[in-house]
């Protein structure tokens, strides 16, 4: 559980220069171990790349329903494409948001006989509309991939872990969601649910662009006292938060903090980039890789390593990260699951753990 934080720290990446580097690393370590959320400023992603992506958002979501349906997620065995409002539930309630999901552009390489989860890897569905939309999104994914790598180097230094150990967990596929929260009639104090309380389960780290002006609110993180702390828009920053795989690998020292989005009377756009975890990662690798660097924290009465970490991957019956992810995707997108993974569909839907 995160600490009793009251605000989200801002880490200025310009401070990586020698005289201020130790101070930056101290701030970063504190943010990682006590909050699980931070803003980064002076992050090095060109403003033009961000502005181009922001310009794409209203154009994409204003496409007519036919063009959205043509790239619907249920056409994709890789779970990439468009999902309409109301197609997801979180914490037992329907989310009010629509989204386009993209990923690092990759060929499908899965063949019969390989692990089924390898089929998560594959090409995007691009709306046929305008070629420049694809260009802006691909450029953004490239920049965020590099930002994620720069950031991982700093995390390694802040936690005194060799960078190559952290890099060994990365996937060839990172995912990007373009998200639109339509205006809601339910006022924020009555908890209109943009997306319900959750920890990010699909990536190693999340780099979030809050793509609406600062008067548009909604994102909040949960502290140890059970208070929801606002994460307002700060222009020129990304919000960075820890995904569940990183919590597992660091034995719970770095927390994947619960967060949510309330929908309000103003529409809101956001763009989370989920840095990917390699699909063949096993539970024992995840739990043992950092043993020499991070003490295993667990209550004395619990004998299982990792027993004090709340993780569907560790709790679940499947040994690889890839299979655990595939199960999650099939459960949240049942049309695609039934169509492309008929042989395991019933098993994944009914194996509640």
Ligand X SMILES: O=C(O)CCC(=O)C(=O)O
Question: Which residues bind to Fe ion, rule: CB under 5 A?
Answer: 200
Which helix (H) or strand (E) segment holds residue 90: the answer is: strand 89-90
Assign 72 to helix, strand or coil: strand
Pick between residue 228 and residue 345 the one whose CB is nearest to ligand X. 228
Pick between residue 119 and residue 260 the one whose CB is nearest to Fe ion. 260
- Shortest distance in whole angstroms from residue 179 CB to ligand X: 5
Which residue from 68, 96, 174, 259 is in contact with ligand X, where contact means CB under 6 A? 259
Closest residue to bound Fe ion by CB: 200
Helix, strand, coil shares, percent, the chain, to 5: 35, 20, 45
Pick between residue 127 and residue 196 the one whose CB is nearest to Fe ion. 196
Pick between residue 261 and residue 287 the one whose CB is nearest to Fe ion. 261
Pick between residue 174 and residue 259 the one whose CB is nearest to ligand X. 259
- Shortest distance in whole angstroms from residue 255 CB to ligand X: 15
**C-beta of residue 90 within 8 angstroms of C-beta of residue 197:** yes
Is position 261 an interface residue for ligand X (rule: CB under 6 A)?
Answer: yes
**C-beta of residue 171 within 8 angstroms of C-beta of residue 45:** no
**C-alpha triplet 342, 198, 227: angle, nearest 5°:** 165
Round to whole Å and give the CA distance between 321 and 213. Answer: 36
Classify residue 299 by burial, with Cβ atoms within 10 Å: 0-12, 13-18, 19+. exposed
For ligand X, how many residues bind (rule: CB under 6 A)?
A: 11
Is position 208 an interface residue for ligand X (rule: CB under 6 A)?
Answer: yes
Pick between residue 96 and residue 177 the one whose CB is nearest to ligand X. 177
**C-beta of residue 208 within 8 angstroms of C-beta of residue 275:** no
Classify residue 205 by burial, with Cβ atoms within 10 Å: 0-12, 13-18, 19+. buried
- Shortest distance in whole angstroms from residue 221 CB to Fe ion: 10
Q: Which does 208 bind (CB under 5 to 8 A by kind): Fe ion, ligand X, none?
A: ligand X
Is position 179 an interface residue for ligand X (rule: CB under 6 A)?
Answer: yes
Q: Given the rule CB under 6 A, which residues bind ligand X?
A: 177, 179, 195, 200, 208, 210, 219, 259, 261, 270, 272
């Amino acid at each position: 559980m995160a600490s009793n934080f009251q605000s989200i720290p801002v880490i200025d990446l310009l401070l990586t220069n020698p005289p201020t580097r130790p101070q930056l690393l101290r701030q970063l370590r504190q943010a990682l171990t006590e909050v699980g959320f931070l803003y980064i400023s002076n992050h090095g992603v060109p403003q033009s790349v961000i502005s181009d992506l922001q310009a794409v958002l209203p154009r994409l979501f204003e496409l007519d329903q036919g063009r959205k349906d043509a790239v619907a997620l249920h056409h994709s065995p890789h779970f990439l494409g468009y999902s309409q409002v109301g197609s997801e539930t979180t914490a037992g309630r329907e989310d009010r948001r629509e989204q386009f999901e993209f990923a690092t552009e990759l060929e499908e390489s899965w063949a019969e006989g390989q692990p089924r989860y390898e089929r998560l890897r594959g090409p995007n569905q691009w709306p046929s509309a305008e070629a420049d939309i694809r260009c802006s999104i691909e450029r953004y994914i490239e920049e965020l991939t590099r930002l994620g790598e720069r950031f991982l180097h700093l995390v390694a230094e802040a936690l005194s872990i060799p960078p190559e150990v952290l890099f060994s967990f990365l996937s060839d596929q990172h995912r990007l969601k373009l998200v639109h929260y339509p205006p809601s009639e339910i006022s924020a104090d009555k908890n209109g649910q943009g997306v319900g309380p959750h920890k990010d389960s699909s990536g190693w780290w999340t780099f979030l662009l809050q793509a609406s002006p600062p008067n548009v609110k909604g994102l909040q993180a949960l502290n140890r006292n059970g208070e929801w702390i606002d994460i307002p828009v700060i222009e020129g920053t990304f919000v960075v938060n820890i995904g569940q795989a990183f919590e597992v690998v660091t034995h719970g020292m770095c927390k994947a903090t619960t967060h949510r989005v309330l929908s309000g009377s103003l529409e809101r756009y956001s763009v989370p980039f989920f840095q990917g975890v390699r699909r063949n990662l096993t539970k024992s690798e995840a739990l043992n890789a950092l043993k020499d660097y991070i003490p295993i924290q667990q209550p004395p009465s619990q004998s299982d390593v990792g027993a004090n970490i709340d993780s569907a991957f560790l709790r679940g019956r499947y040994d690889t990260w890839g299979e655990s992810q595939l199960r999650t995707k099939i459960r949240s997108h049942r049309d695609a699951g039934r169509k492309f993974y008929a042989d395991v569909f019933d098993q994944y839907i009914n194996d509640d753990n």
